[in-house]
Amino acid sequence: MRAELRGFYSSDLPDPNVESFRPDDPENFSLEVTAVVGPNEGGGDYEFRFIVCSARWLAERPPEKGFWFLRGYLLLTRWDVAVLERAVSDLCLHSERETWQEVTEKLSRYLQA
């Protein structure tokens, strides 16, 4: 069993469809995104949150204590919804495990449930 990406949305946007997001600078942005995934064998939708941001955005916000743990972040060189979709789809593809609980545990290493 593995996860399958079913879609994205962002409650940070007036139109929650992430395809409508147009940052002022595609190389300097941050957006909280929710990925909707479910078992490839059918049944149920589950949501995982994460911040998608650019390297420049991250570089301009150095960690206050000199370090960060970055679970729950996806770093893109520039805003591109196709790359976002490819990255999360690839993560889902590589999440294959025996049970759905094991799949969600694997996804939770990168995304926040």
8 A C-beta contact, residue 29 and residue 23: yes
Question: 60-84: per-residue pLDDT in tens?
Answer: 998 889 998 889 999 999 999 999 9
Question: 32-65: per-residue pLDDT in tens?
Answer: 999 999 999 877 899 999 999 999 999 999 888 9
Residue 113 confidence (pLDDT) above 90: no
pTM to 2 decimals? Answer: 0.90
**How far lies 2's CA from each of 6, 33, 34, 66, 99, in Å?**
13, 21, 18, 37, 8
